[in-house]
Amino acid sequence: MSQYKKTALVFGAGGFIGSHMVKRLRAEGYWVRGVDLKKPEYSKTQANEFIQGDLTDYKLVEKCIEFKGFLGNFYQYVSDQHVDTFDEIYQYAADMGGAGFVFSGENDSEIMTNSAAINLNLLLAQKKINDRKSVNKTKIFYSSSACMYPEYAQMEVNNPGLKETDAYPAGPDSEYGWEKLFSERLFLAYNRNHGIPVRIGRFHNIFGPEGTWTGGREKSPAAMCRKVAEAVDGGEVEIWGDGEQTRSFLFVDECIEATRRLMESDFLGPVNIGSEEMVTINQLADIAAKVAGKTIVKKHISGPLGVRGRNSNNDLIREKLGWDYTMTLEEGIAKTYAWISKKVEEQERIYNWDPIPNFSF
Ligand code: NAD
């Protein structure tokens, strides 16, 4: 008898949400294979097996989705009841970033190619293995985004909350959003035509410890925590635009819980996975400052902004899964600030030796 409850494959297992999902699945008794271009940056992977590789390579995807594809010594422990294909796949791999990365326009072709190629590879490979083995048990979760909602529905700061039906007529404000919309439809088409069980969640700004916090791809909650941590008490914190643009943010543990419930349910989605606590970016900065116990002066500068107002409407997920967010933004920011301020402090203790040119004793 196998000691594992189920098997799961996590694409993007070296990233923020993927590495949190790996931890959760292991805690639930799953055997997990993670795949990513890179290992998790902030803690060791908890996956039973971790494959480092590029998922735009079809051959790699084909090998990964076959359960025995890579198994070495582990196989003997899991083989009796888990054969051939995985019970569940979580597809998180994509080029991700905050407004500075997604809305600059400079990364559009890479963002679209990378993500679409991974999704196409996964679905095609899964269909082929299902046909070859005459099975169809693997449930696949796809992480879509609130960025797929049309720009025209997000022009006002007082956004009443985006309902799933607001997606059409389509009109996302970024190529990242258009690709997410295309891929949602791709997963649904494989479900319709080949019966592959899929589940689709539309994430609304997920944040928390072990997320990207510096380097240009960080999203606003992490960026704000970092800026506040770096500022002296009474110092300036830069905010893009007038700071009156609105968003809602969901703490990562809540995102994982909602996703697991979606996977356990019969409901395909697409469904919003977000918080309805909408704040302005100025308010987000105030919350980070309050948590840090600092006074800050907001300095408004120009920068990429994205839509004017965005919020989640959770009616559908409440109805279908009985799930709702429970954590306040301040509670989530407190946990995130504690982690990021430590990172900032660590970084401030690192000095680079810059040799003086042409100097010799
Ligand atoms: P992340 O950048 O931390 O993780 C994505 C991972 O995918 C990275 O580790 C990256 O190395 C990997 N990856 C990218 N291209 C790859 C390739 N070709 N081969 C192998 N691995 C590759 O991002 P995240 O915040 O964890 O987001 C996970 C998913 O959720 C993404 O699809 C993202 O679009 C979606 N999403 C996230 C948010 C959010 O707020 N974090 C919101 C909406 C949607």
Distance 76 CA to ligand 1 centre (A): 32
Task: Please say if 92 is a catalytic residue.
Answer: no
Report how far residue 3's alpha carbon sits from residue 77's, in angstroms, rounded to the nearest whole number: 7
Which residues of the chain have a pLDDT value below 70? 1-2, 69, 71-83, 360-361
Task: Encode pLDDT of 331-351 as tens digits.
Answer: 999 999 999 999 999 888 877
347 Cβ contact partners less than 8 Å away, ≥ 6 residues apart: 214
Distances (CA, A) of 323 to 160, 225, 268, 294, 316: 20, 28, 15, 35, 9
Q: What is the pLDDT of residue 77?
A: 53
CA angle 339, 19, 203 (to 5 degrees): 90
| Pocket lining: 201 vs ligand 1, CB cutoff 6 Å | no
- Determine the number of helices (DSSP H) and then strands (DSSP E) in the chain: 11, 13
18 with 10: CB under 8 angstroms? yes
| Pocket lining: 54 vs ligand 1, CB cutoff 6 Å | yes
Measured by CA distance, the residue closest to atom 41 of ligand 1 is 206
156 with 115: CB under 8 angstroms? no
Locus of tokens 């097996």: 49
Which of 4, 92, 142, 176 is an active site residue? 176
Distance 358 CA to ligand 1 centre (A): 45
Closest-CA residue to 200 (of 115, 317, 87, 111): 317
Average pLDDT, the chain: 93
How many Cβ atoms sit within 10 Å of the Cβ of residue 160? 13
Q: What is the pLDDT of residue 175?
A: 95
Say what the pTM is.
Answer: 0.94
Closest-CA residue to 97 (of 85, 84, 115): 115
349 Cβ contact partners less than 8 Å away, ≥ 6 residues apart: none
